[in-house]
């Protein structure tokens, strides 16, 4: 099969024509430093496209533009600061959480505070609408089902109008999740690429070799698993603390909220054995990210910080949030023992 390119007829390579995966070219050695004949992104792209197995979706994700962007961020921070990789991972995590997720978390609290302040008005509307529907149903001989459907339809419309009026639709509060979770995934895969030797630095030598010697304390090798389980357990404990702080802050949770809380608790516990099966570089990132999440949750309870972010005052706000949190924590977990 021939194809025309620049006025010339060319015949495709047989391997690509048959869909056979083409192995990357062997690196050539120059001056004692190994250089790949193709750029790392090109080799990865060929491997991803040529693979037809069940792992092809992961290969496509591992070589996607967002993951490559995360790799460039990590490499850029490492090159600019000259810090060891354990410090570079921590610094990058703090910078991303502070510059991206903290403003989004503040915006989330801003939206939720406005929604909470609308609840008295929504309850008042619901009471009057219920009375009006009852009168109309009696006059027009509606069935209970028809009256209920009419009530729900009008209530949704009126509540939606309130959200539009105050520009606080609850869906806007989910923006944090849509940004934070993909960023967490991309950073984790980028670190996995580094730890498995799938990515090379701009200087041409393997980042994997750097990670193997740039650890600290008991995890000197960031490409190896944490055999002590200290990092995985720390990740699980901090995630559970975040869940419990949320649960203690909420009073009178609905059944759905209770189920979600139990589900997140289970996920936090399951993260411990999962974290024990991945390289320490990834677990270190998870630990730093969870610690920043815990810090942000505590910071967003501060009345002074909430005023700084112009988060509206609500009935559930407290002048002494940390004292109240400690008292609730003590009553739930310590005084019972």
Say what the pLDDT of residue 205 is.
61
Residue 314 phi, psi dihedral angles, 5° rounding = -125, 170
Average of pLDDT values for 231-235? 94
Lowest mean pLDDT segment, chosen from 123-132, 249-258, 268-277:
249-258
pLDDT bin (cut points 50, 70, 90) of residue 34 is very low
Cβ pair 195, 282 in contact under 8 A:
yes
pLDDT in tens, 149-207: 999 999 999 999 999 999 999 999 999 999 999 999 999 999 998 888 776 655 556 78
Whether 223 has a pLDDT exceeding 70, the answer reads yes
Higher pLDDT, 55 or 168: 168
Say what the pLDDT of residue 251 is.
63
Whether 254 has a pLDDT exceeding 60, the answer reads yes
Count CA atoms closer than 13 A to 250's CA, side-chain side. 17
Residue 124 phi, psi dihedral angles, 5° rounding = -65, -40
Q: What is the CA radius of gyration of the chain?
A: 27
In three-state form (DSSP H/G/I as H, E/B as E, the rest C), the secondary structure along 138-194 is HHHCCCHHHHHHHHHHHHHHHHHHHHHHHCCCHHHHHHHHHHHHHHHHHHHHHHHHH
Residue ranges covered by each domain of the chain = 65-113+170-334
Whether 299 has a pLDDT exceeding 80, the answer reads yes
* Rounded alpha-carbon distances, angstroms, from residue 329 to 51, 253, 274, 292: 52, 17, 28, 20
Global pTM reads: 0.75
pLDDT in tens, 261-270: 889 889 999 9
Average of pLDDT values for 282-297? 94
């Amino acid at each position: 099969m021939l194809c025309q390119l620049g006025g010339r007829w060319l015949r495709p390579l047989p391997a690509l024509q048959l869909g056979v995966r083409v192995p990357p070219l062997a690196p050539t050695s120059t001056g004692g430093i190994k250089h790949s004949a193709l750029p790392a992104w090109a080799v990865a792209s060929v491997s991803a496209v040529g693979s037809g197995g069940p792992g092809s979706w992961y290969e496509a994700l591992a070589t996607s533009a967002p993951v490559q962007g995360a790799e460039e961020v990590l490499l850029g921070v490492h090159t600019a600061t000259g810090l060891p990789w354990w410090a570079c991972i921590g610094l990058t995590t703090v910078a991303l959480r502070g510059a991206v997720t903290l403003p989004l978390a503040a915006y989330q609290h801003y939206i939720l505070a406005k929604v909470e302040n609308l609840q008295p008005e929504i309850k008042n509307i619901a009471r009057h609408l219920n009375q009006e529907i009852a009168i109309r149903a009696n006059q027009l001989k509606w069935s209970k089902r028809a009256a209920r459907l009419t009530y729900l339809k009008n209530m949704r419309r009126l509540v939606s109008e309130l959200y539009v009026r105050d520009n606080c639709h609850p869906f806007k509060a989910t923006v944090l999740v849509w940004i934070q979770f993909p960023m967490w995934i991309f950073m984790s895969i980028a670190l996995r690429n580094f730890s498995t030797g799938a990515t090379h630095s701009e200087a041409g030598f393997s980042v994997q070799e750097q990670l193997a010697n740039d650890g600290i304390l008991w995890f000197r090798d960031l490409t190896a698993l944490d055999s002590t389980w200290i990092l995985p357990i720390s990740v699980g404990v901090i995630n559970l603390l975040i869940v419990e702080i949320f649960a203690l802050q909420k009073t009178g949770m609905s059944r759905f909220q209770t189920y979600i809380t139990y589900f997140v608790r289970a996920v936090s516990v399951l993260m411990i054995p999962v974290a024990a099966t991945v390289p320490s570089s990834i677990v270190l990132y998870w630990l730093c990210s969870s610690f920043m999440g815990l810090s942000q949750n505590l910071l967003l309870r501060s009345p002074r910080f909430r005023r700084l972010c112009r988060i509206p005052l609500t009935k559930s706000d407290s002048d002494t949030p940390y004292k109240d949190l400690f008292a609730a924590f003590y009553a739930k977990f310590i005084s019972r023992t």
